[in-house]
Structure 1
Amino acid sequence: MNKDWWIYTGTRQPHDGIARLPEPPPWRAFASEEDTPFDRDGPTGPHNRLKPAAAYEADNHTIDMVNTALYLRRPLLVTGDPGVGKSMLAYAVARELRLGSVLRWPVTSQSTLQQGLYRYDAIGRVGDSNLSGQAGEISRYLRLGPLGTALAPFRLPRVLLVDEIDKSDIDLPNDLLDVFEEGEYEIPELSRLAEDEVRIRPADEGQPVLVRHGRLRCRAFPLVVLTSNGERAFPPAFLRRCVQLDLPAPGAERLSAIVAAHLGTAEVGRSAELIDTFLARRELGDLATDQLLNAVYLAGATGVSRAHLAELVMKNLNPTI
Structure 2
Amino acid sequence: MTTPDWFVYRGAGEPHDGIDRLPDPPPWRDFDGGPVVGTAPPLGTESTRRLGTGGLRGIAWRPEELELINAALYLRRPLLVTGDPGSGKSTLAHALAHELGLGRVLHWPVVSRTTLRDGLYTYDAIARLQDTQMAREEGREHTEDIGAYLRLGPLGTALLPYDRPRVLLVDELDKSDIDLPNDLLNALEEGEFRITELQRVAHKQPQVRVLTDDGDRAPVHEGRVRCRAFPVVVMTSNGERDFPAPLLRRCLHLDLPSPRNDEWGAARLETMVRAHFGDSDAPAREELIRGFLESSPGSLRAADQLLNAVYLTQKAARDSAPDRQRLAELLMRPLDHGEHGHR
1:261: Cα distance to partner? Answer: 3.3
Question: Does 2:235 align with 1:226?
Answer: yes
Inter-partner Cα distance in structure 1 for 2:50 and 2:298: 33
Q: Is the 8 A contact 2:108 2:169 kept in 1?
A: yes
Inter-partner Cα distance in structure 2 for 1:256 and 1:124: 49
Question: Bigger CA drift: 10-19 or 216-225?
Answer: 10-19
Q: Describe the shift of the 1:281–1:213 C-alpha distance in structure 2 as closer, same or farther (beyond 3 A).
A: same
Name the structure 2 match of 1:275.
Answer: 289
TM-score normalized with structure 1 length: 0.91
Question: Does 2:305 align with 1:291?
Answer: yes
1:25-174 counterparts in 2 under 5 A?
Answer: 25-39=26-40, 42-44=42-44, 49=49, 51-52=51-52, 54-55=55-56, 57-60=59-62, 61-133=64-136, 134-135=141-142, 136-174=144-182
Inter-partner Cα distance in structure 1 for 2:233 and 2:61: 19
TM-score normalized with structure 2 length: 0.86
Q: Describe the shift of the 1:39–1:221 C-alpha distance in structure 2 as closer, same or farther (beyond 3 A).
A: closer
Q: Describe the shift of the 1:175–1:256 C-alpha distance in structure 2 as closer, same or farther (beyond 3 A).
A: closer
In the TM superposition, what whole-angstrom CA distance separates every residue of 1:136-185 from its partner, at most 9, and x where no partner exists?
32111111111000000000000011111111111111111011110011
Aligned residues: 319
Q: Describe the shift of the 1:137–1:261 C-alpha distance in structure 2 as closer, same or farther (beyond 3 A).
A: closer
Inter-partner Cα distance in structure 1 for 2:71 and 2:290: 34
Inter-partner Cα distance in structure 2 for 1:148 and 1:178: 13
Q: Is the 8 A contact 2:56 2:271 kept in 1?
A: no
Q: Is the 8 A contact 1:49 1:91 kept in 2?
A: no
Q: Alignment partner for residue 257 of structure 2, among 248, 271, 280?
A: 248
Question: Does 2:212 align with 1:202?
Answer: yes
Q: Alignment partner for residue 260 of structure 1, among 274, 277, 280?
A: 274
Secondary structure at the counterpart of residue 262 of structure 1: helix
Inter-partner Cα distance in structure 2 for 1:270 and 1:241: 45
Q: Is the 8 A contact 1:50 1:95 kept in 2?
A: no
Q: Is the 8 A contact 1:144 1:200 kept in 2?
A: yes
Letter in 1 for 2:61: D
Name the structure 1 match of 2:334.
Answer: 316
Q: Is the 8 A contact 1:34 1:153 kept in 2?
A: yes
1:77: Cα distance to partner? Answer: 0.7
Inter-partner Cα distance in structure 2 for 1:179 and 1:58: 33
Question: Does 2:1 align with 1:3?
Answer: no
RMSD of aligned residue pairs (Cα, Å): 2.2
In the TM superposition, what whole-angstrom CA distance separates every residue of 1:240-277 from its partner, at most 9, and x where no partner exists?
00111111112465144443333234544444433332
Secondary structure at the counterpart of residue 200 of structure 1: strand
Letter in 2 for 1:44: G
Question: Bigger CA drift: 112-121 or 286-295?
Answer: 286-295
Q: Is the 8 A contact 1:43 1:50 kept in 2?
A: no
Inter-partner Cα distance in structure 1 for 2:272 and 2:91: 13
1:297: Cα distance to partner? Answer: 3.5
Letter in 2 for 1:216: V
Q: Describe the shift of the 1:259–1:146 C-alpha distance in structure 2 as closer, same or farther (beyond 3 A).
A: closer
Letter in 1 for 2:103: G
Q: Describe the shift of the 1:111–1:196 C-alpha distance in structure 2 as closer, same or farther (beyond 3 A).
A: same
Question: Does 2:245 align with 1:236?
Answer: yes
Q: Describe the shift of the 1:284–1:309 C-alpha distance in structure 2 as closer, same or farther (beyond 3 A).
A: farther
Q: Describe the shift of the 1:8–1:282 C-alpha distance in structure 2 as closer, same or farther (beyond 3 A).
A: farther
Letter in 2 for 1:28: R
1:7: Cα distance to partner? Answer: 0.8
Structure 1 unaligned spans of 5+: none
Q: Is the 8 A contact 1:121 1:141 kept in 2?
A: yes
Q: Is the 8 A contact 1:109 1:169 kept in 2?
A: yes
